[in-house]
Structure formats: C-alpha cells, structure tokens
C-alpha cells in the first residue's frame, strides 16, 4: 500500500474507447482560479463536445429549449482501493468508469450521479433507477435496491454512496434523511443511523463515524449499536473524515472544517474556515486534506497548516485509498477530471515560497 509521510521535503453502453487527452487548461502551469499546479493528466472524453443552448422545434409546432452541455457537471468521484479505477458520476445522469493507469474509459452508463466503486473494483454502485449494483466485468445490473426520491419537502434524493472496506455494505446519504446501510449481497436494509446525516466508514470498516447539526455519532458496524453520541452544532455537516487509530475526526460544515478528538469531541483546531466540500485523512494519519470555498489545503494531524492553494474552481474531489492520486472535477469542463500524483502535489505545495502557517483568512 502506498503511504504518504508528514515530511515535506518532497445499463451499460457499448462505446468506443475514450482516452485522456489534453484539455485547453492542461497546458497552463496552473489553473489561475484554483492556485493548484498543473495536474499530472486530465481524463477527458474526446467524444463529448460543448454544445450551446438552443431551441428545438418538435411535432405539432411544439418548442423545446435545450440547455446543451451547460448542465453537465461532475457530482461524484470514487476510486477503487488500489487507485487504478475511477468512477465519475455527472449530472444530468451519466456515469463513466476510467482506468487511471492507461487513461482509458472502460465503461459508460446512463442514469445516476452518485457513484461508488467497491474496493476491489469489481462492483459499481450508482443511483438513478433506485440503487443499482452493477457487475463491472459484464456491465450488467446484478441487483436494484428500491429507492423513492420523493418531491418538494419530501425530497430524498441520494447525495452520496460509499462501500465499506470489505465491499459488503453500502452507506447511503440522502437529502433530509439519516444515513441508511444496505447489504450488498441481498440488498437488505441493515440499519438507519439516527442523528447521522453524513458519515464515513472507518479505515477498518468496524465503525461508521458522522453526525448532524446536533450530534456527533459513532456506530458499531456489526450490531449497529451506538458507540458514542457527542454534542455538535449548530451547523449541519457537509463532510466527514476520521482516523480512530489517531483519535481524530474532521467535521466539515457551511462555515468551517473542525479537527476534533474522536473520543471526546474536543476541538483541536480549525482546518478551514469556509464552506467545506471535501475532507480526507491520509492513510498514515499524518496529513489532512480539505477543500473549502477558500481553496485546497494540506494540514498536519495537529491542525497546523502546511499549504493553502486559494480558489474554488472545482466541484468535487477524491483521494485514492492508496494515497497515490488526488482527483478533482474542474468547473465548466463537462466531465473532465484532473488528476494529480499526490506525492508530487505535496512536494509542489510545500515548496511554494508563499507557504503560510496561518489559518486561511
């Protein structure tokens, strides 16, 4: 398994294979709106071209306004455990699976914006028509778990899905509801985690850690019993990362990302002071990565800022479980995904002459 230390000296569709080719902004030294250095490469579907909104004349004189490709944006990213595969979910309902090493698109599916790859990369989970469990080898749906998204005040649209490390359980976050856990093998509902709107499996899969605007919850993933219920608030939770071995968790919200002791909830520091889109902890527990409306930042496990790259030009981010890659979806680039070698990014970030050790302002 690749690790990163804290030292800073350093329905399936048949398709023609798409490859990663240069996007216009890839040739730049860095994306000026994000502050991040040029990515190692960009996964780019060369068959998808920008299309302006236009009027379509239908039968009997009917008129339809097409938004073109302006409505397309990446909404979720998920790596396999070895970092070799990346699933990309995008609105208004397309899912692509890429081989990161060869930079080739392996499969494409219609329907779904929230995606997750099983750790072994053999199963794809997506929303769209309920929760679909898809065999990657054949591209066929193995099982569909019914899901009603509702409407209006009863809108329960799925916002994220994730596997546990063994690939046997699915964690589903939806609008206005507590987390639900399903069995991958038979689709059975295993638990509804009260007072937990956002959460994550622990690295060994034995716990689910998360919360809502009043509670910080830790659940046992065998009997689904509450291990810990601590106070939280008043803000809702937007992102969660945790490392029980280091007794730390990151709780992102609309105003900040807080570094807390997992066992007591005591605040160790802030690892961001703006809306938090993404949070992750390295597999050694030595580094924390956050992406807020102020930009991408790297912190040590005590909450000390190592590097901040200002900007907010990305929709979503993901770090591969082996800590090899950072993936991010740039705004206004259709389904493009920028990918950085994480070790190289850390080295570039830490060598920045403007490196600051203060909290972002």
Q: For residue 103, what are its two tokens?
A: 């930079």
**Dihedral angle sign, alpha carbons of residues 214, 247, 285, 287:** positive
Q: What is the pLDDT of residues 143-189, one digit of tens each?
A: 999 998 776 667 789 999 999 999 999 999 999 999 999 999 999 99
The closest alpha carbon to 251, from 279, 225, 286, 228, belongs to: 279
Give me the residue spans of the domains in the chain. 12-47+71-350
Report whether 273 contacts 359 (CB < 8 A).
yes
Provide CATH code, domain 12-47+71-350.
2.130.10.10
Tell me if residue 249 falls in helix, strand or coil.
Answer: strand
Q: For residue 58, what are its two tokens?
A: 């239908």
Residue pLDDT tens, the chain, 361 long: 565 543 333 333 333 334 444 443 343 344 444 578 899 999 998 887 665 544 445 445 544 444 444 568 899 999 999 999 999 999 888 999 999 999 999 999 998 899 999 999 999 999 988 999 999 999 999 999 999 877 666 778 999 999 999 999 999 999 999 999 999 999 999 999 999 999 999 999 999 999 999 999 999 999 999 999 999 989 999 999 999 999 999 999 999 999 999 999 999 999 999 999 999 999 999 999 999 999 999 999 999 999 998 887 887 999 999 999 999 998 777 899 999 999 999 988 776 634 444 444 4
Q: Which long-range contacts (CB under 8 A, 24 or more apart) does 296-301 make?
A: 296/34, 296/35, 296/36, 296/328, 297/271, 297/272, 297/360, 298/346, 298/349, 298/350, 299/259, 299/271, 300/6, 301/6, 301/246, 301/248
Q: What is the pLDDT of residues 269-308, one digit of tens each?
A: 999 999 999 999 999 999 999 999 999 999 999 999 999 9
């Amino acid at each position: 398994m690749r690790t990163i230390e804290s030292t800073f000296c350093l329905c399936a569709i048949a398709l023609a294979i798409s490859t990663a080719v240069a996007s216009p902004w890839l040739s730049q030294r860095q994306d000026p709106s994000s502050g991040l250095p040029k990515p190692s490469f960009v996964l780019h579907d060369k068959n998808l071209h920008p299309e302006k909104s236009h009027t379509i004349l239908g039968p009997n004189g009917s008129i339809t306004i097409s938004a073109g490709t302006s409505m397309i944006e990446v909404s979720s990213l998920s790596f396999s455990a070895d970092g070799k595969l990346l699933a990309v979910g995008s609105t208004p309902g397309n899912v692509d699976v890429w081989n990161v090493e060869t930079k080739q698109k392996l499969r494409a599916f219609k329907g779904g914006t929230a995606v997750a790859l099983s750790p072994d990369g053999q199963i794809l989970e997506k929303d769209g028509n309920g929760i679909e469990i898809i065999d990657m080898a054949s591209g066929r749906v193995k099982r569909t778990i019914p899901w009603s998204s509702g409407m209006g005040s009863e809108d329960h649209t799925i916002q994220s899905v994730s596997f546990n490390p063994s690939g046997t359980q699915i964690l589903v976050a939806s609008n206005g509801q507590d987390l639900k856990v399903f069995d991958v093998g038979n689709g059975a509902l295993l638990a509804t985690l009260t007072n937990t709107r956002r959460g994550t499996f622990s690295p060994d899969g034995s716990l689910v850690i998360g919360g809502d605007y009043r509670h910080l919850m830790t659940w046992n993933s065998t009997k689904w019993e509450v291990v810990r219920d601590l106070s939280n608030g008043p803000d809702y939770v937007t992102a969660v990362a945790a490392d029980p071995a280091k007794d730390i968790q990151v709780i992102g919200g609309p105003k900040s990302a807080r570094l807390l002791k997992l066992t007591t909830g005591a605040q160790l520091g802030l690892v961001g002071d703006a809306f938090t889109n993404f949070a992750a902890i390295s597999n050694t527990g030595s580094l924390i990565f956050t992406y807020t409306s102020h930009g991408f930042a790297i912190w040590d496990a005590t909450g000390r800022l190592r590097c901040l790259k200002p900007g907010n030009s990305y929709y979503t981010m993901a770090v591969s479980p082996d800590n090899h890659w950072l993936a991010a979806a740039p705004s206004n680039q259709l389904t493009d995904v920028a990918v950085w070698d994480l070790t190289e990014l850390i080295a570039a970030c830490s060598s920045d002459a403007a490196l600051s050790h203060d909290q972002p302002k």
